[in-house]
Copies of this chain bind each other. A is one copy, B any other.
Amino acid sequence: MQSEKTTAAYVDSLRPAGSKRSSKRDRIVDVFLRQQGHLTADDLVDLIRKEDQRISRATVYRTLAWMEAAGIARKVDFGEGRFRFEHSYRHPRHFHLICKGCNQSMEFLSSDIEQMIEEVAEARKFTVTQAVVQLYGTCEACTTGRPATTRLASTESLFARDALRIAIATERSGREFYTRAAAMTRDARARSVFERLSTAEDDHLERLEARYKQLLAEEPDLESQPQFLFFRGAANGLFSAGVDALRNVTGDKDALMIGIRCERGSHRFFKRYGEKFEDSEGKRVFLEFADEERDHLELLIREYRILTRKDQGKGKAGA
């Protein structure tokens, strides 16, 4: 459970200027942040009433609107004819699976869907501010008997777990890519760059694996929980396509170009998913890695330019 201090700091960081504090609102926000799942306004009123009878339904509605404006709460619509609310604290944006049998909702995220959405929006010149993806149907528990899965882990933990898995696969494939590239590269400078990056990826890999272990130590049942983050191309690491491509490659420049492409994808991945956390340490680690991948990227580009100049020099000399 999160300490009150942490959520208080979180709320303070979002509290809009020119709004006065009030004990009622603080109490509502506090109760709301202690919940998980998707509450209706009425659910929240009931929860509040357990702690304080003197809070009116109107105030709860007003506070919900206030929290939404502040970015503390997100309004979600499951087509029930009323809204539900989920909080953003340590809770990245996501999509929903909604079971019509048990009225439970599950969360997931798909990089691939997000990307397709961006492509559609771009083609239509549409600026997306909010993407809603909701799959209605029947969950596993309702289809089979009723052994409802133990749903314990927070979205944040699941997100961290899956993002780390992808990151680890990426670093692993990156290490392989750079090791192979170093072995096949003739240009000495380029080779030493590949060697350096191979070592760097190895270092990242160790840190990520340590973090993954730590995560599992904190929540041992995390590994058995269902997949949350879907990211097709990255299941084997963002460099795995590059490793394949390396096989049909002859020049050092080609290897650098492949590295650039992979590294760019990798940078984007860490940046994008680092930013997905509304708040957390995971965010810090991912953004730090994003920076390092960007450094790698720049290094590769620099090296590519040098090699290109060399070739041109040769070309000119030869001509």
Give the interface of A toward B (CB within 8 A): 77, 79, 97, 99-100, 106, 108, 110, 112-113, 116-117, 119-121, 123-140, 143, 226-227, 230, 232
Residue of B nearest to A121 (CB): B135
Please tell me if the beta carbons of B124 and A227 are within 8 angstroms of each other in the complex.
yes
Partner of A116, one of B110, B128, B143: B110
Please tell me if the beta carbons of A124 and B79 are within 8 angstroms of each other in the complex.
no
Please tell me if the beta carbons of B127 and A137 are within 8 angstroms of each other in the complex.
yes
Please tell me if the beta carbons of A138 and B126 are within 8 angstroms of each other in the complex.
yes
Please tell me if the beta carbons of B117 and A140 are within 8 angstroms of each other in the complex.
no
Please tell me if the beta carbons of B135 and A227 are within 8 angstroms of each other in the complex.
no
Please tell me if the beta carbons of A116 and B112 are within 8 angstroms of each other in the complex.
yes
With A126-B137, A129-B136, A135-B131 known as contacts, the answer to whether A97 contacts B121 (CB < 8 A) is yes
Partner of A128, one of B120, B126, B130, B137: B137
Please tell me if the beta carbons of A138 and B129 are within 8 angstroms of each other in the complex.
yes
Residue numbers in B under 8 Å from A143 (CB-CB): 125, 127
Please tell me if the beta carbons of B125 and A136 are within 8 angstroms of each other in the complex.
no
Tally of this chain's copies: 2
With A79-B77, A113-B113 known as contacts, the answer to whether A126 contacts B135 (CB < 8 A) is yes
Residue numbers in B under 8 Å from A119 (CB-CB): 230, 232
Please tell me if the beta carbons of A135 and B140 are within 8 angstroms of each other in the complex.
no
Please tell me if the beta carbons of A128 and B124 are within 8 angstroms of each other in the complex.
no
Residue numbers in B under 8 Å from A108 (CB-CB): 120, 124
Residue numbers in B under 8 Å from A133 (CB-CB): 117, 131-133
Question: Cα distance A162–B109 when bound, in Å?
Answer: 28
A145 to chain B, nearest CB (A): 13
Please tell me if the beta carbons of B123 and A226 are within 8 angstroms of each other in the complex.
yes
Q: List 5 A-B contacts (CB under 8 A).
A: A97-B124, A106-B124, A113-B113, A117-B133, A124-B140
A148 to chain B, nearest CB (A): 13
Please tell me if the beta carbons of B126 and A139 are within 8 angstroms of each other in the complex.
yes
Partner of A126, one of B97, B110, B123: B97
Partner of A136, one of B130, B137, B226: B130
Question: Cα distance A156–B153 when bound, in Å?
Answer: 44
Q: Identify which of A77, A112, A113, A128 gathers the most chain B CB atoms within 10 Å of its CB.
A: A113
Residue numbers in B under 8 Å from A99 (CB-CB): 126
Please tell me if the beta carbons of A100 and B116 are within 8 angstroms of each other in the complex.
no
Please tell me if the beta carbons of B129 and A137 are within 8 angstroms of each other in the complex.
yes
Residue numbers in B under 8 Å from A139 (CB-CB): 124-126
Residue numbers in B under 8 Å from A77 (CB-CB): 77, 79
Partner of A117, one of B113, B126, B128: B113
Residue numbers in B under 8 Å from A138 (CB-CB): 126-127, 129
Question: Cα distance A226–B129 when bound, in Å?
Answer: 21
Please tell me if the beta carbons of B117 and A116 are within 8 angstroms of each other in the complex.
no
7 additional A-B pairs beyond A113-B113, A121-B137, beta carbons within 8 Å, are: A97-B124, A106-B124, A113-B120, A123-B227, A123-B230, A131-B136, A133-B133
Residue of B nearest to A112 (CB): B116
